[in-house]
């Protein structure tokens, strides 16, 4: 086994009372791969992402990331090892400017923050990468606007810019197109298509054209279980999946 996957989730299990939210899930994300996770609402996709990132702790199973089991580690340690999550429901620092939001993301990966000599916004080591991340995502000219004043689409972009600024090994993207119009969705798909060449991604998405455009492999999650994994074409052809998921959506 020369090429271990970057992320290897094994038999992950999470219960909420009597409800099984994640039912012995196995998923791999190879280095450089974009792996899409699709499934109907309530299938447990966000719960799954939250366990990988560390906000929720699984009841059982392993999360092997870069060769180490991180299933019991605190979220902030996982982030420092190169896991970056963008949230389905925008979660940014509303009272900070877009730039400061990204500065915090850069800062998180730049050693400890017990530094009190200079103002953070005067540190080129923070500001320059932050500017670059904003520019890469198309928010360069909105850097000094407070996040609360950004449009929904722009906040989604900011969300992604923050994840990028962490220089992650793996991006956990939880519905990056959530709540976006057709035009914004197309734009975001284009942005992600460019990023795809540089990053490994685990992508939760409802928009099938985006999944088709981006995913190397697709896994289908239904009621906490992976019912199929394969290329987009394979998944589309899978009768099992059509019955469980695609069928009910297209009818």
Specify whether the CB–CB gap between 121 and 106 falls below 8 A: no
* Binder of another protein out of 22, 47, 88, 107 (CB under 8 A): 107
Place of tokens 């962490």: 166
CA distance 35 to 70: 20
Task: Tell me if 108 contacts another protein by CB under 8 A.
Answer: yes
CA distance 240 to 221: 12
Task: Tell me if 91 contacts another protein by CB under 8 A.
Answer: yes
Task: Tell me if 164 contacts another protein by CB under 8 A.
Answer: no
CA distance 132 to 27: 32
Stretch that binds another protein, among 26-34, 98-106, 215-223, 235-243 (CB under 8 A): 98-106
Q: Residue 25: which region, alpha, beta or left (left: phi > 0; alpha: psi -120 to 50)?
A: beta
Residue 120 has what DSSP assignment? G
* Binder of another protein out of 19, 31, 60, 121 (CB under 8 A): 121
Helix (H) or strand (E) holding 89: none
Site residues (CB under 8 A) for another protein, limited to 165-184: 166
Distance of CA 251 to the CA centre of its chain: 29
- Closest distance of CB 96 from another protein, Å: 5
Task: Tell me if 122 contacts another protein by CB under 8 A.
Answer: yes
Task: Tell me if 124 contacts another protein by CB under 8 A.
Answer: no
Task: Tell me if 234 contacts another protein by CB under 8 A.
Answer: no
CA distance 16 to 18: 6
Task: Tell me if 92 contacts another protein by CB under 8 A.
Answer: yes
* Residue 147 neighbours by CB distance under 10 Å: 21
Query: How many positions of this chain bind another protein (CB under 8 A)?
Result: 43
Site residues (CB under 8 A) for another protein, limited to 41-70: 53-55
Task: Tell me if 156 contacts another protein by CB under 8 A.
Answer: no
Task: Tell me if 186 contacts another protein by CB under 8 A.
Answer: no
Specify whether the CB–CB gap between 95 and 148 falls below 8 A: yes
* Residue 227 neighbours by CB distance under 10 Å: 18
Task: Tell me if 109 contacts another protein by CB under 8 A.
Answer: yes
Task: Tell me if 245 contacts another protein by CB under 8 A.
Answer: no
CA distance 149 to 118: 27
* Binder of another protein out of 34, 100, 185, 189 (CB under 8 A): 100
Task: Tell me if 1 contacts another protein by CB under 8 A.
Answer: no
Footprint of another protein (CB under 8 A): 53-55, 74-80, 84-85, 87, 91-97, 100, 103-105, 107-109, 113-123, 126, 144, 146, 162, 166
């Amino acid at each position: 086994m020369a090429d271990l996957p970057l992320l290897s989730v094994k038999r992950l299990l999470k219960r909420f009372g009597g409800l099984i939210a994640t039912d012995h899930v196995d998923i791999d994300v190879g280095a450089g791969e974009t792996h899409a996770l699709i499934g109907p609402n309530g299938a447990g996709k966000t719960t799954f992402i939250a366990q990988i990132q560390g906000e929720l702790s699984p009841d059982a199973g392993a999360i092997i990331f870069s060769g180490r089991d991180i299933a019991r580690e605190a979220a902030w340690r996982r982030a420092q090892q190169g896991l970056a999550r963008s949230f389905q429901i925008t979660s940014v620092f509303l009272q900070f400017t877009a730039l400061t939001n990204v500065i915090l993301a850069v800062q998180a990966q730049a050693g400890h923050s017990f530094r009190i000599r200079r103002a953070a916004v005067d540190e080129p080591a923070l500001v320059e990468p932050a500017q670059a991340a904003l520019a890469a995502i198309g928010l360069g000219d909105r850097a000094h606007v407070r996040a609360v004043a950004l449009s929904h689409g722009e906040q989604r972009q900011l969300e992604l810019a923050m994840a990028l600024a962490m220089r992650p090994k793996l991006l956990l993207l939880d519905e990056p197109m959530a709540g976006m119009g057709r035009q914004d969705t197309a734009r975001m798909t284009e942005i992600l298509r460019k990023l795809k060449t540089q990053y490994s991604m685990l992508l939760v998405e409802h928009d099938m054209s985006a999944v088709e455009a981006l995913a190397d492999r697709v896994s289908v999650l239904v009621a906490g279980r992976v019912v199929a994994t394969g290329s987009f074409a394979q998944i589309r052809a899978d009768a099992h999946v059509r019955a469980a998921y695609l069928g009910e959506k297209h009818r």
